[in-house]
Amino acid sequence: MSRTLKTILIIAAYVALLVLTVYLFPRYNNAFNYHYEVGKPWGYDLITAEFDFPIYKTDAEIQQQQQEAIRNVTPCFNKTAELPNGIFVISLEDYDKLNTGGYKRVSIRTGKHEVTTLPVGELMTPKSAYECFGKLCEPNIIPDTLANNHLYQNAVESVSQTFGLVQTGERIIDRGEIVTAQTYQILNSLARAYTEKNITRQQTIYVQIGYLALIALLIALFVIYLAIIRPRLFGQLRATLFFCLLMAIFVTTSFLILRFTADDTLLYIVPFAWLGILTTVFYDSRTALMLHVMTVLLVSMATPSPFAFLFTQIIAGVVVIYSLRKMTQRAHLAHTAILTGLAYALAYTALMLTSTGTYTHLQPRIYMFIFANMVLIICAYGVIYIFERMFGLVSDVTLIELSNVNSDLMHRFAEEAPGTFQHTLQVSNLATEAAKKIEANALLVRTGALYHDIGKLMAPQNFTENQQGGDNPLSRMTNTEAAHTVIEHVSNGLALASKHHLPQIIRSFIASHHGTSLVRYFYNSEANAHPGETINEALFRYPGPKPSTKEAAILMMADAVEARSRSLSEYTEESIANMVNQMIDAQIQDGQFADTPLSFRDVEAIREVFTTKLIAIHHQRIAYPTLNTQAAK
């Protein structure tokens, strides 16, 4: 991938994160975004009325009053026929409706301009008329549906939806005060007033521009941090996608919760600890803290109580990152989950006590959410595996599993190429100590060293460490063929690594442990055999690439000095020190470490470690005295 395309994709990833955050942001149309319940303490600052607004009745109150207004209506009927004695007969069905509705009187239109009002009790049904007069009478009044609907509508509309007025500047509620039923109605009325308040399109645009600027600023701060403090990560597309995806997951989850529930207490169940865990495991703790802080700041802009959210989440994030500097065992996650749960519970309890002055308002469900959060933190082990596969990353747990010398592949390595295997172990030990000295990733270089020569398994007899003084097949080849055979162990190693699904970072050690150096033994032999001729160096050089990290450079040095140490004629401090210096100087002069971040101080520290370790390995032993036969008698 070209550098230009990579830069475009990195920019596109951050822009996509910005667009997603702005699109999901839940507070554009609601300036009164608080969570409160009757009987619970108000957890925010003092609220005063910024404008006059009415106090709205509850839906239940309005419905009750509307039903009462309808019962006070006098239904209209039309007379259809004249009956003896001037009686009014109504159908049994209509009579039951009047009684069920609680109506007291009815209005009967008897003529074009004549209306009679009667109590409902004076109306007769066909049955009661028969009992009274001894003959069957049909109903002679029917409901005036059109007039009645009009009366009912007027009755409903006559009920006011408000019962009071809150004036500008009037105090409503302050932090710690209990939300009463009346206060609850006032707060609901204020929220409704904010919603119904006329906001011009221009004002809406300005609000959105403001949120866009704040969100963009937070994302930009994280990008600036990477550019200045972690430039290596700043230019990595994989790292960019990793950070953007993590932020997007938690921003989306949080915003959807706030958008559909407006209950910020549910955020206690969201495992923000995953931000710190995943970033610490795959990158470093400082970047993890920065990513965590930027993400919770983004979410806090939409929460009803930003201070409480920030306070608890930042404390929990710091605890996560400090307790999980290195994750080399599954138990470390459980330890982190317990500490994080305690931090959440302590922070929440402390905030509630300071805001209410009593423990009676602590909500048990919050502690249940915190417990669920702890369980999700433990589940991060599976999430780590998913991210490893998605981004080709390697965690310390995976490295430890790969460095197990009792695995099937390592067991085969030891059986079929014992000399190379022993060389690999020595290189691993040297590289590990050097990495510790210069504060590189010792576990990574140790694991990479164990697999760097795995390609020799394809033809172990071609390498002197496995021949045990026997036949050397390379001696029957031309120098060019022999060099090709030796160089081929790199491509064979990559093929074996692919077959056994080794992570890409381990494959990079296999590919770069010789860089683009010469197979000097056969190159020199070819030059000596053809004096005065130009030798094609490309036939004797490894394909590379050159090492690009401190760990890869350490492995290249360790591999060279360990192999060369086996051919020394004598093992003295001076001979070992000279050999180490010569091998490392030759690699530096060949430009093999030009792409690595090694400093001169790092190189000197590595020389010192290699010299000390090799002297300890090859120190001269004291000869054991033999038993004198005469003395034994």
pLDDT digits (tens, 9 = 90+) for 82-115: 887 788 989 999 999 998 888 889 999 888 778 8
* Dihedral in degrees, nearest 10, Cα atoms 211, 214, 219, 220: 130
**How far apart, in whole angstroms, are the C-alpha atoms of residue 454 and residue 491?**
10
> Which whole-number Å values give the CA distances from 369 to 117, 298, 336, 341, 366, in the listed order?
65, 21, 17, 10, 5
pLDDT digits (tens, 9 = 90+) for 1-44: 678 888 899 999 999 999 999 988 876 445 566 777 777 788 77
CATH of 396-617, one of 1.10.10, 1.10.3210, 1.10.287, 1.10.540: 1.10.3210
pLDDT band per the 50, 70, 90 thresholds, residue 393: confident
What pLDDT score was predicted for residue 593? 93
Instruction: Report domain extents, the chain.
Output: 3-27+202-391, 63-157, 396-617
Of 472, 468, 464, 465, the residue nearest 425 (C-alpha): 465
What pLDDT score was predicted for residue 41? 80
Average pLDDT over residues 251-280: 87
The pLDDT > 70 percentage for the chain reads 93
What pLDDT score was predicted for residue 29? 47
Q: Which of 300-314, 353-367, 380-394, 465-479 has the lowest mean pLDDT?
A: 353-367
Beta-carbon count within 10 A of 334 CB: 14
In 418-500, which ranges are continuous DSSP H helix? 418-437, 442-451, 479-499
pLDDT digits (tens, 9 = 90+) for 109-152: 888 778 889 999 889 998 888 888 877 788 999 999 999 999 99
With a cut of 90, say whether residue 181 has pLDDT above it.
no
pLDDT band per the 50, 70, 90 thresholds, residue 211: confident
**How far apart, in whole angstroms, are the C-alpha atoms of residue 498 and residue 293?**
38
Mean residue pLDDT across the chain = 87
What pLDDT score was predicted for residue 44? 72
With a cut of 70, say whether residue 554 has pLDDT above it.
yes
DSSP state of 625: P
**How far apart, in whole angstroms, are the C-alpha atoms of residue 383 and residue 278?**
8
pLDDT band per the 50, 70, 90 thresholds, residue 626: low
Write down the pTM of the prediction: 0.66
